[in-house]
């Protein structure tokens, strides 16, 4: 049985809320599953962070993930869907590369 008290073990809500906190969005915002899966994997209904919280926080700051996410939503709200999709694509690529390098 898994130790649910481990700092690397999350419930689904806790995992999503961790990322939402870094993104600076409310808890009722839906996070893209592909984005979520860059940071967490699931096993036996628990979620495990792939890198340490400290490394993830550092990545968010270094790559300006929060700001890019804000820009994505700004473009989406302005109905500039192509621009928003390009930002999302670049964001996923940047995060993926950065996580592999870390």
Rg (CA), the chain: 14
Count of CB atoms within 10 A of residue 90's CB?
12
Q: How far apart are the first and last CA of the chain?
A: 29
Interval 14-69: pLDDT, tens: 999 999 999 999 999 999 999 999 999 999 999 999 999 999 999 999 999 999 99
Q: Which two tokens stand for residue 91?
A: 């964001």
Count of CB atoms within 10 A of residue 19's CB?
20
Collect all residues with Cβ–Cβ distance below 8 Å to 87 and sequence separation of at least 6: 68, 71, 72, 75
Collect all residues with Cβ–Cβ distance below 8 Å to 12 and sequence separation of at least 6: 45, 47
Sign of CA dihedral 75, 87, 41, 66: negative
Confidence of residue 3 (pLDDT cuts 50, 70, 90): very low
């Amino acid at each position: 049985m898994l130790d649910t008290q481990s700092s690397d073990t999350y419930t689904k809500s806790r995992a999503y809320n961790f990322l939402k906190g870094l993104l600076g969005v409310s808890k009722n915002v839906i996070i893209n599953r592909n984005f979520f899966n860059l940071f967490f994997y699931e096993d036996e209904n628990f979620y495990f962070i792939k890198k340490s919280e400290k490394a993830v926080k550092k990545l968010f700051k270094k790559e300006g993930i929060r700001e890019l996410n804000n820009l994505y939503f700004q473009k989406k709200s302005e109905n500039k869907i192509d621009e928003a999709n390009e930002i999302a694509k670049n964001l996923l690529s940047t995060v993926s590369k950065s996580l592999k390098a870390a």
